[in-house]
Structure 1
């Protein structure tokens, strides 16, 4: 057994578990792990999907066994799993030695507004949160035709100071456990305006469907399944017979629902800030609708009693 000072230091280092929804081979994850390993401050664990699982939200694997395969990533202990981001976070934090921070990302495409409902990246962080582990979901605001894989490396570098701050807060026992963080890095990551605490807005890429015929998927420099990215992508090969109808998703419009305020996540991201949005596990209705529903229920009860 190695009892050297270096071994003791490594054993006592803060543990970070990295997952994502783009898959174990995604550049965003690899760049983030590279930055964490280079810092020499963390014990880095990786458990990520073995293939792209974008847009699966908080989906979990229930009946089938989860297959995990060891993956060689320098400086980290890494496994590729057959499940979803939430599965990866869950199996990753199930070990007795884990007591640290879960990082999910770096995702290609922003996860602002209502997109957090669909996001597998956010789902991985949320799974950690509901199991009592601090977590950060991280995304880069990819713009098709403008962004490159190198921008993901810059986005990872941008997130490191925030990760360091959260680690210190956890170590000091001052980190609040009532939320997890959703971080979005602006397109021009190298010239961002700073970190900004924001609120989740109502931004949403409105999706419809149109009938199509099978086409060979286009090859891009890097795939993305983010709903708000201006690029076409067939998610998988589709085989069909003459009796099948094929439909593909199409972006209809982007909706902001008249939101105002510089502290709304998508607005601040567009202004060039790194947005840091605290999220909870539950989706709660606006407080002002509670009296309305109480009144409705009261009227219904009175009507029922009267009959």
Structure 2
């Protein structure tokens, strides 16, 4: 499936939208390398938290977007749609990527957040179809992080991207997994890359009645599960009979006993976490005998 072009081809997608600074900084870094042909196929608006949702019945609307050094389209679909279209060869005149990159997301994607993440889904979709893929996220902390941190996150991911591409070109890159990469909040002073395992971190979500509907002003800085978005809300006046509920973060937690090689723990310790993931949702092996025994009694 690799490109026959002289330069390796990289496809970039995300879930924050094609105008998101994380994606733009990543593309800038790829273009500045001068070694890649860069394609971009990303949602035309923010599609954070849509997981692996796909568009089935409606056609996708694709609009050319001017991004220096890249061929780019904003698409009226979700991250998985964009990855699928981008690798199909239909959008870029028969050209398909050697590597798919999804990100850089604003907000970490560790633990159970992998299930919700559109960023991870973009990489997973490519992986399912046999393309090497990386999902990349930055651990944004409200009140501490700035847009410039996303630029630094893109910079510190480049050595890993380059190394992966070398392995791909050498035919030595493994095909059994894709990588989920999370960059720590203080990206410029990270402790290095660390291979980790997906843990159990989760921002536990609850619900509360509300008289509000949506943020009056949307921003990339609040486009992730960890952000507090209950301020500056626009009053909804659609119907007095409607019941409105808003999501609220109850707590953020992870199992302290999981070990030092778990993604979220390593991330907050200052490492760039590199977590190999698969596409299956298999149960733990020790659960199988129980279910076999249950079925035998039916």
Establish whether TM, by shorter chain, passes 0.5.
Answer: yes
For 2:264, the equivalent position in structure 1 comes to: 266
Structure 1 residue 225, shift from structure 2 partner: 2.7
For 1:137, the equivalent position in structure 2 comes to: 135
Are 1:213 and 2:211 an aligned pair?
yes
Q: Distance in 2 between matches of 1:117 and 1:236?
A: 29
> Is the alpha carbon distance of 1:186 and 1:133 closer, same or farther for their aligned partners in structure 2, counting shifts above 3 Å?
same
> Is the alpha carbon distance of 1:151 and 1:104 closer, same or farther for their aligned partners in structure 2, counting shifts above 3 Å?
same
Question: Which residues in structure 2 correspond to 1:74-223 (within 5 Å)?
Answer: 74-95=68-89, 96-214=94-212, 217=215, 219=217, 222-223=220-221
Structure 1 residue 11, shift from structure 2 partner: 3.8
TM-score between the two structures when normalised by the length of structure 1: 0.90
Structure 1 residue 223, shift from structure 2 partner: 3.3
For 2:62, the equivalent position in structure 1 comes to: 68
Q: Secondary structure of the equivalent of 1:223? A: helix
For 1:285, the equivalent position in structure 2 comes to: 283
Structure 1 residue 240, shift from structure 2 partner: 2.2
Are 1:16 and 2:14 an aligned pair?
no
TM-score between the two structures when normalised by the length of structure 2: 0.93
Measured against aligned partners, the alpha-carbon deviations of 1:39-80 in whole angstroms (never above 9, x if no partner) come to 001000000000000000000000001000000000000000
> Is the alpha carbon distance of 1:220 and 1:65 closer, same or farther for their aligned partners in structure 2, counting shifts above 3 Å?
closer
Unaligned runs of 5+ in 1: 1-9, 302-307
Structure 1 residue 227, shift from structure 2 partner: 1.4
Conserved? CA contact 1:104–1:138, under 8 Å: yes
Q: Distance in 2 between matches of 1:211 and 1:161?
A: 47
> Is the alpha carbon distance of 1:72 and 1:233 closer, same or farther for their aligned partners in structure 2, counting shifts above 3 Å?
farther
Q: Distance in 2 between matches of 1:199 and 1:125?
A: 17
Q: Secondary structure of the equivalent of 1:52? A: coil
Conserved? CA contact 1:43–1:76, under 8 Å: yes
Q: Distance in 2 between matches of 1:58 and 1:35?
A: 27
Q: Distance in 2 between matches of 1:67 and 1:235?
A: 30
For 2:274, the equivalent position in structure 1 comes to: 276
Q: Distance in 2 between matches of 1:102 and 1:216?
A: 33
Equivalenced residues, count = 291
Are 1:40 and 2:38 an aligned pair?
no
Conserved? CA contact 2:212–2:234, under 8 Å: no
Structure 1 residue 287, shift from structure 2 partner: 1.4
Report the aligned-residue RMSD: 1.9
Measured against aligned partners, the alpha-carbon deviations of 1:3-30 in whole angstroms (never above 9, x if no partner) come to xxxxxxx941000000000000000000
Unaligned runs of 5+ in 2: none
Q: Distance in 2 between matches of 1:156 and 1:235?
A: 32
Conserved? CA contact 2:40–2:72, under 8 Å: yes
* Greater Rg over alpha carbons, structure: 1
> Is the alpha carbon distance of 1:179 and 1:104 closer, same or farther for their aligned partners in structure 2, counting shifts above 3 Å?
same
Q: Distance in 2 between matches of 1:101 and 1:282?
A: 21
**Runs of 4 or more above 6 Å deviation:** 233-237
Measured against aligned partners, the alpha-carbon deviations of 1:125-172 in whole angstroms (never above 9, x if no partner) come to 000000100000000000000000000000000100000000000000
